[in-house]
A and B are shown apart, each in its own frame.
Chain A
Amino acid sequence: MEHDLSFSPSSSTDGSSYKLMELPQDLCTLIEDSFDHKSTPLSFSVKGQPGEDAVLCTSEKTYTMRSVVLSNSVLIVTPPPDALSTDFSDGAVVIRDQVNEIIELAPSVPKLYKLGGMLRGRDYDEHQEDEDENEENENNNKFTYEEAKSQIQASDAELDHGLKVRHILNIRGELRPISPSYLARLLQLFLNLLVSLALSLDAAHVERLSSALADEHQIPRTVSTQIMSWFGDIKEGKWKVNIESVIKEVGLETLRRYKDEPIEKDILLAKWKGLVGDTYECFVSLSLLSGNYLALPNDMNKLKYFPASSLPVDPAPRFADLFLTRSRWKVEDISPFLADIAINSKERDKLLLKFARGTTDAEGVWYTARAQYNG
């Protein structure tokens, strides 16, 4: 059968109202399920500020969008609209639009690093309550959850996860990163309460903890429950405590003070155990702080605060930083500082091969900078 192919009766106004977007398999399945009504109605959003590359966010993931110009043109052909079908012969089809580019999608990491800058100076600590009184004056430099949703190029799930790992509170819609020292103090209160109320680490009673904190220490419930959700799981009013992460956070706060002046390993452990209390001191272990400290090369028992999280995210500048800090590394010493950029030990070894040079001597393998441009 021959089909008459015509320009659509509204082709002059239809123009550029169509776009073609290449779909990765997972997105394709998601959309097809939605077409077949197998899942709840679906919607995506394109996010980006002027000057940024746009990203497409599903509820879970982020994809970068790239427009690719085609040398061929693609006609989008449909049947003529019902109202005008009498003007066309049987089986006729119309050209709705000519497309010369397609949008390519590539999975991407969420661009959460902007959160740091947006929230600078908005730290939440114990003087928060007095601040609330003159809240009105400060309205203009508030940064809300809704603003983060529209300005941060990340899916909702990734944003929520990012806020959680960065310890950012959501107080009546406003985002406030909790100050690390205040957080550590609150966690100590939690540990004390867990002991004094004799609560189990597997199912601590959320309501009892938050009312105790609210009554005795004037800690808002929204703050205490959010902290509990960062350090474990809350289900049906019970908090399953991730005790290691609590102990680690307290230890980090102790260590953080020794950025320039090193501290003896044993003194650090003693201070740390003192802060967490007798009941939980068995969980204290230096390995919890891996990736956050550096032992002095001449005295392995002296430690300095050196967090991997403050190093650059890209491998090349990270290695440059690491080799500036120390000119040669043992593999076991350098790996904690690569753990957050390499998914597994194979990836880590690949990075070491690419950015470092291995040399073997009596003490084992040492890694040094690959190119020493400055001689």
Chain B
Amino acid sequence: MIIPITIASSSTNPKLPPGLAKISHDEIVLVELQGTLEVEYNHPSERDGKLVGKLKVEEATNKPTLRIGHHLLEGKIATLPKPLAVLIRSNTTSSAPSDRVYVHDQEGDAIMNHIDTVTANWNVVAIVKRKIVFYKRPMPIVGRPT
């Protein structure tokens, strides 16, 4: 009934381009949208690798913009009220200390998972203190090629 959370000490993951890395963390940037990105597909894998839009952070003003199709979103870089830890699940099949496995549902309650071999392991990979927030309505762009 224990889910271990380990703190990754160092990583060899690719780094973000400098413009995005300076926002908060050099590997992960959080982008907050009002609403969600909805994509029509028959199978979730259809959207894999597909282009969503163009993300830009203006050097001089630090103003982020996101252009999706004919729509332009304007945002800002905001400091989080409290730092956020980014956790990644890593499923290990190795010899886990406990032979029973429990996962968590959205309420944070533990639910038993009946698979004996796979252990849900969570890794803290980053602490993020600032994020990009697109808080305005999308504006239609007229007369520009996408």
User: Contact: A150 with B48, CB < 8 Å?
Assistant: no
How many Å lie between the Cα of A94 and that of B20 in the bound state? Answer: 12
Nearest Cβ on chain A to B125's Cβ, whole angstroms: 9
Nearest Cβ on chain A to B119's Cβ, whole angstroms: 12
1/0 contact string of A39-77 vs chain B (CB within 8 Å): 001111111111111101000000001110101111111
Q: Contact partner of A3 among B4, B49, B56, CB < 8 A?
A: B56
> With an 8 A cutoff between CB atoms, is B88 at the interface?
yes
User: Contact: B5 with A1, CB < 8 Å?
Assistant: no
User: Contact: A47 with B32, CB < 8 Å?
Assistant: no
Q: With A3-B17, A102-B84, A103-B108 as given contacts, are A47 and B2 in contact (CB-CB < 8 Å)?
A: yes
User: Contact: B85 with A23, CB < 8 Å?
Assistant: yes
> With an 8 A cutoff between CB atoms, is B94 at the interface?
no
Nearest Cβ on chain A to B41's Cβ, whole angstroms: 9
How many Å lie between the Cα of A122 and that of B7 in the bound state? Answer: 38
How many Å lie between the Cα of A150 and that of B3 in the bound state? Answer: 10
Q: Chain A residues near B14 (CB, 8 Å)?
A: 78-82, 85
User: Contact: A7 with B87, CB < 8 Å?
Assistant: no
Q: Contact partner of B127 among A35, A102, A103, CB < 8 A?
A: A35
Instruction: Scan residues 80-116 of chain B and give those whose CB is less than 8 A from a CB of chain A.
Output: 82-89, 98, 102, 104, 106-112
> With an 8 A cutoff between CB atoms, is A100 at the interface?
yes
> With an 8 A cutoff between CB atoms, is B61 at the interface?
no
> With an 8 A cutoff between CB atoms, is B45 at the interface?
yes
- Listed in ascending order, the chain A residues whose CB lies under 8 Å from chain B are 1-12, 15-24, 27-28, 31-32, 34-35, 37, 41-54, 56, 65-67, 69, 71-82, 84-85, 87, 91, 93-95, 98, 100-103, 149-151
Q: Contact partner of B51 among A4, A10, A42, CB < 8 A?
A: A4
Closest to A28 in B: B83
Query: Count the A-B residue pairs with Cβ separation under 8 angstroms: how many?
Result: 215
User: Contact: B2 with A150, CB < 8 Å?
Assistant: yes
Q: Chain A residues near B89 (CB, 8 Å)?
A: 16-19
User: Contact: B98 with A77, CB < 8 Å?
Assistant: no
User: Contact: B16 with A20, CB < 8 Å?
Assistant: no
How many Å lie between the Cα of A82 and that of B12 in the bound state? Answer: 10
Nearest Cβ on chain B to A328's Cβ, whole angstroms: 44
User: Contact: A18 with B49, CB < 8 Å?
Assistant: no
Q: Chain A residues near B3 (CB, 8 Å)?
A: 45-47
Nearest Cβ on chain A to B104's Cβ, whole angstroms: 6
Nearest Cβ on chain A to B141's Cβ, whole angstroms: 14
Nearest Cβ on chain A to B142's Cβ, whole angstroms: 19
User: Contact: B2 with A73, CB < 8 Å?
Assistant: no
Nearest Cβ on chain A to B13's Cβ, whole angstroms: 7
How many Å lie between the Cα of A101 and that of B105 in the bound state? Answer: 11
User: Contact: A3 with B20, CB < 8 Å?
Assistant: yes
How many Å lie between the Cα of A58 and that of B74 in the bound state? Answer: 40
Q: With A10-B48, A74-B131 as given contacts, are A93 and B29 in contact (CB-CB < 8 Å)?
A: yes
Q: Chain B residues near A103 (CB, 8 Å)?
A: 108
Task: Please list 27 pairs of residues, one from A and one from B, whose beta carbons are closer than 8 Å in the complex, sorted by A's number.
Answer: A4-B54, A6-B49, A9-B49, A19-B87, A20-B30, A21-B85, A27-B85, A28-B85, A31-B127, A43-B6, A44-B7, A45-B4, A46-B2, A46-B3, A47-B1, A48-B1, A65-B108, A66-B108, A72-B35, A73-B33, A74-B33, A78-B29, A87-B49, A91-B19, A93-B16, A102-B84, A149-B2
